[in-house]
Structure 1
């Protein structure tokens, strides 16, 4: 697993962004990829963020929230000026991002989708998010994540 880059790690290298790559052995029986990452890496779960793809007024949109929370769909819609939101179809999310479920990274996605990062990320010097594969997490400053993805921050965690 180590040594295999992803579009997310390639983007960070190309942009010369300070980050740390963490790997762990993914257990397919685990029910939550994010909580599994927090446990395996010994990190507070509030610092580990999951990447969720939703549809806002028919347009795919990404929400990045702590693994301890759920995505508040109405808040996500409001954050991007939309009215209605629902979780995206898994196949659509994978096709648009270029990543598999449980390994969708907010970085290096195939299509540049509107993105909202939960404001709670700003409480930490660094956060962890998927590196583009199950068992691969990237630790970086939330400000770098927002800058690289063109995200906005808003209260979208429920």
Structure 2
């Protein structure tokens, strides 16, 4: 199970105890925000895209949407999300639990600027009912992100 891979991944830094599991689903931004009792924008959603027969993950704030023009300018190709079947194969996690931790080796992780307005955010942990609260610095460190990106829209009006 993917949550066990993520738990083991965080155990190397003694952070596994910070993983929260819920009785209810946290598979969407809205469900995760309800389970946590926080604003939806603080959910760090992980979006998976096909890029030259490989996969890239973009971790963005819960209220952010991919801006196709910005995505194409940054990655030099059109944004093409992976199908649910491809997600598990390419990333190593299933839809609803996709996160930037304990993923397949050849997956590149990009953090979107929409996250920088928060002190802490809540990414999933490999299952459809788990999250971990991380500072932005921790997210950057433990996601092994390649770079920060600016590929989203609809979040700048929020505080």
SS in 2 for 1:6: helix
Q: Report the TM-score when normalising by structure 2.
A: 0.81
Q: 1:48 aligns with which of 34, 43, 50?
A: 43
TM-superposition CA deviations, 1:22-53 (whole Å, max 9, x none): 222235xx9x6121010111012111111111
CA distance in 2, matches of 1:89, 1:13: 30
C-alpha distance in structure 1 between counterparts of 2:106 and 2:38, whole Å? 29
Question: Contact conserved, 2:64 with 2:114, CA < 8 A, in 1?
Answer: no
1:23 corresponds to 2:21: yes
2:47 counterpart SS class: strand
Aligned equivalent of 2:121 = 127
Which residue of structure 2 lines up, in the alignment, with residue 8 of structure 1?
6
5+ residue gaps, structure 1, are none
Provide TM-score, normalisation by structure 1: 0.81
How many residue pairs are counted as aligned between the two chains? 151
Q: Deviations over 1:69-124 (max 9, x none)?
A: 22234433444x43332111221111122211011111111234111111122222
Distance 1:18 1:90 in 2: 27
The residue that corresponds to 1:157 in the other structure is: 152
Computed over aligned residues only, the root mean square deviation of the Cα atoms, in angstroms, reads: 2.4
